Amino acid sequence: MRGGWLGPAAIAVAAGAVLSGCALTETGGDNVINGKTLFVAKCGSCHTLARANATGVVGPNLDEAWRRAAVDGMRRSTYKGIVHRQIEHPARLPQVDPITGKEVAQMPAGLVTGANAEDVAAYVASAAAKPGKDTGRLATIGQGPSNAVAKASGGKLDIPTDPSGALAYKFGAAAAPAGKLTVESKNDASIDHNIAVQGSGVDEKGPIVKNGGVSRVQVDLKPGKYTFYCSVPGHREGGMEGTLTVK
C-alpha cells in the first residue's frame, strides 16, 4: 500500500466510477477512434483525461487513477477489462473515488453496450496518463480550447459551445461595445451547457440546454472585463469560461 492507495481491490472500486454519469450512443465499430469520439462527446465533461483534452472534475481523474493502478502493477489490458465490465454492469450503490474520497455520480445501466463499450474502454486504457499527445486521426478528436475571439454585432453576441461535447466554447474570448447586449450560446452537443455572464455587479445565467438548444442572457454592460462561463456544476471548474472585454 502506497500513498493511501488500497491496491488492486480498490482499483476495481475506482474503475466502477470511471465512466460514471456518462451517456454514450451506439454507433458500431471496434476502434479507439470511435472510442475517443464517444468519450469526448459524452464523458469529457465528467472526467480529466489529458490526451482527450478532457478537463471534467465531477468524476474521477482518469490519468491519476491509472498512475495509482500502475504503481500497484496493473497492466493496461487489465484496466481496460475492468472499465469495460463496469460500463456493462455499473455499480448500483453509491461509489466513492478512493483518490479524492468524494462520492461520484452513478452511471445508469444500459447506456452503452457491445462494440461501443469496448471502444471506450480501449481508448481510456490506452490513453490514461500516457505521455505526449494523440497523433493521426486521433489528434483531430477533442481539440483544446479555442483562441478565437467572438465579436458582438447589432447588440448580439454569439458564443456557441464546442459541438463535440467538450468543456469548451467555440471562442475562448469575446469583445463587445458598452450598453445593452444579448449573449447567446447554441449547444448542439448532447451534454448540458449554458451561458452565464459575471463581473462588475452583473451575474446572469441563461437556461441549460442541449441538442441544438440556445441559452440566452440579456445584460447591460459598462466598459471593463467580464467572464462568460457555463454554470453547469463542474463545467466552469473544468475550464469552460472566457473573458468578455467591453469598451
* Confidence category of residue 87, pLDDT binned at 50, 70, 90: confident
The answer, yes or no, to whether residue 90 has pLDDT greater than 50, is: yes
pTM: 0.74
- Convert the pLDDT of each residue in 39-77 to its tens digit: 888 788 888 999 999 998 887 888 998 999 999 999 999
Question: Tell me: domain 149-246, CATH 3.90.650.10, correct?
Answer: no
Least confident of 71-80, 93-102, 134-143: 93-102
From 187, 229, 192, 239, select the one nearest 50 (Cα to Cα).
Answer: 239
Question: Tell me: domain 8-140, CATH 3.40.50.1980, correct?
Answer: no
| Average pLDDT, integer, range 3-23 | 40
Annotate the chain with three-state secondary structure: CCCCCCCHHHHHHHHHCCCCCCCCCCCCCCCHHHHHHHHHHHCCCCCEEHHHCEECCCCCEHHHHHHHHHHCCCCHHHHHHHHHHHHHCCCCCCEECCCCCCEECCCCCCCCCHHHHHHHHHHHHHHCCCCCCCCHHHHHCCCCCCCCEEECECCEEECCECCCCCCCECCCEEEECCEEEEEEEEECCCCCECCEEEECCEEEECCCECCCEEEEEEEEECCEEEEEECCCCCCCCCCCEEEEEEC
Domain ranges of the chain: 8-140, 149-246
